[in-house]
Amino acid sequence: MKNNNTWFWLFLAPVMLALFFVVILPLIFGIYYSFTDWNGIIATRFVGIKNYINVFQSTTFLNALWFTTKFAVVAIIMENVIGLALAMLVTQKFKGRHLLRTVFFMPNLIGGLILGFIWQFIFIKAFAAVGNVIGVSALESWLATPGTGFWGMIILMSWQYAGYIMVIYIAYLENVDHELIEAAEIDGASAWQRFLHITIPMIAPAFTINVFLTLSNSFKLYDQNLSLTAGGPYDSTQMLAMDIYNTAFSQNNMALGQSKAVVFFLIVAIISLTQVYYSKKREVEV
């Protein structure tokens, strides 16, 4: 038995070492720096929790937190609803469903930065041109107001991410036992009832995974945010990651940025773990 234990740790050692050096150690350093006056070059003194007090007094941080939360809620719903709808569509029996799967998944293969620039062009140039022709002024001046900036981000993210979410739903949908559905059909259950009471509970693990993915993804979003709106107009679409980057690198306030990053880490960790815990509890075993 003792021998076994040695083997266990020996095999684990490379991974543990790597994890320690590239994840744990930087995290500890990061937390340490957040209590100092570190400017990216040297840390001269210990300032206690002063940085953390400043974090919660910083209006840009609180605005970014609020915007990110709003964005995350809407994005999670949109991405999952669209993803599930697409998955239902391409699991029907019809010609061309395999082609459609590829097409829906494709946006996910394009990098976030490039997508942002593509959509910036669509929103600013194409929307304005179309709006001009059909005389709908609501299509003009997109991304120039906070509202259109917000919806621009939502559209971009749903477009990119729904296909990815769809793939996971497909995997679970195809595993739903057809006998169950047939039995329900014979018992007289309508299509809606079959979906609500059989399909949904059977694919519950997919919800756990997808909500987790979309949640952490929305919170950590940076590249699409940078290339689509760059936080504008007037910082109204600035998300947490961008606020942290700007604090650290353009305002040169490394220690404050580091504190914001620690707070950010805690928020993401708490929300994600809570979500996984509750979703897990609701899954059904077959």
Partner 1 sequence: MKKKWLMAVISLLLVVALTACSGSGSSGSKKVTINIFQYKVEFKKQFSQLAKEYEKTHPNVTVTITTVGGGSDYGAALKSKFASGNEPTIYNIGGPSDVKDWKGKLADLSGTKTAKLALPGTLNGVTEGSKVYGLPYNEEGYGILYNKKIFAKAGIDPASITSLAALESVSKKLNDKKAALGLKAVYALPAKETWVTGLHSSNVFLSPEFNQDVTKAFKSKTVSFKYGKQFKQYLDIQQKYSVQPTASLDYSAQVEQYFSNGKVAMIQQGDWVSPTIIGINKKFENSGIGLLPIPVDGFKTDSIPVGVPMYWAVNSNKSAQEIKAAKDFLNWMYTSNTGKKMVLEDFQFIPAYKGYDTSKIKDSLARQIYDYAQKKKTIGWVFMGYPTGWGMNTLGVDIQKYTSGKMSWDALVKDSQNAWKTSRNQ
Question: Using CB under 8 A as the criterion, which residues of the chain lie in contact with partner 1 when the complex forms?
Answer: 7, 10-11, 13-14, 17-18, 39-41, 124, 141-145, 230, 232-235, 246, 248-253
Torsion of CA 242, 243, 248, 252, to 10 degrees: 120
Least distance to partner 1, CB of residue 251, Å? 3
Query: CB of 64: closest distance to partner 1 in angstroms?
Result: 13
Q: How far is the CB of 249 from partner 1 (least distance, A)?
A: 4
Say which DSSP state 93 is in: S
Output DSSP code: residue 44: -
CB closer to partner 1, 121 vs 277: 121
- Our CB check for partner 1 shows the closer of 210 and 253 to be 253
On whether the CB atoms of residues 228 and 116 are closer than 8 A, the answer is: yes
What are 29's two structure tokens?
A: 């350093």
Minimum distance of partner 1 from residue 53's CB (angstroms) = 13
Report residue 36: phi and psi, to 5°: -120, -175
Nearest to partner 1 of 146, 201 (CB atom): 146
- For partner 1, the closer of residues 140 and 283 by Cβ is 140
Task: Give whichever of 163 and 231 is closer to partner 1, judged by the CB atom.
Answer: 231
DSSP state of 108: G
The residue written with tokens 């991304």 in the block is: 143
Q: Name the minimum Å distance from CB 165 to partner 1.
A: 29
Q: Two tokens at 182?
A: 């047939």
Task: Report yes or no: 157 and 224 within 8 Å, Cβ to Cβ.
Answer: yes
Residue whose pair of structure tokens reads 């829906």 in the numeric block: 104
